[in-house]
Amino acid sequence: MAYPLQLGLQDATSPVMEELIQFHDHTLMIALLVSTMVFYTILTSVTTKLTNKNMLDSQGIETIWTIAPALILILIAMPSLRVLYMMDEVNNPHLTVKTIGHQWYWSYEYTDYKNLEFDSYMIPTQDLIPRQFRLFDTDHRMVVPTDSPVRMLITADDVIHSTAVPTLGVKMDAIPGRLNQTTFVVSHPGVFYGQCSEICGANHSFMPITVEAIPLIHFEDWSTSMLAKI
Interface with other proteins, residue 89, by CB under 8 A = yes
Which CB atom, from 45 or from 92, has the smaller least distance to other proteins? 92
Tell me which stretch binds other proteins (CB under 8 A): 32-40, 41-49, 80-88, 175-183: 80-88
Give the one residue of 2, 37, 70, 199 binding other proteins; rule: CB under 8 A: 70
Which CB atom, from 2 or from 68, has the smaller least distance to other proteins? 68
Tell me which stretch binds other proteins (CB under 8 A): 34-42, 86-94, 163-171, 214-222: 86-94
Contact in structure between 223 and 94 (CB atoms under 8 Å): no
Which CB atom, from 46 or from 61, has the smaller least distance to other proteins? 61
Contacts of 155 (CB under 8 A, 6+ apart): 98, 99, 100, 101, 174, 175, 176, 177, 178, 179, 180
Give the one residue of 5, 45, 85, 126 binding other proteins; rule: CB under 8 A: 85
Question: What pairs with residue 96 in β-bridges?
Answer: 151
Which CB atom, from 57 or from 127, has the smaller least distance to other proteins? 57
Sign of the CA dihedral running 78, 80, 83, 88: negative
Which CB atom, from 77 or from 230, has the smaller least distance to other proteins? 77
Q: What angle do CA 155, 228, 93 make, to 5 degrees?
A: 40
| Dist. CA 74–CA 15, nearest whole Å | 24
Residues in 34-63 that interact with other proteins by CB under 8 A: 57, 59-60, 62-63
Contacts of 31 (CB under 8 A, 6+ apart): none
Size of the site for other proteins (CB under 8 A): 15
Half-sphere exposure of 170 (CA within 13 A, CB side): 31
Residues near other proteins (CB under 8 A): 57, 59-60, 62-63, 66-67, 70, 81-82, 85-86, 88-89, 91
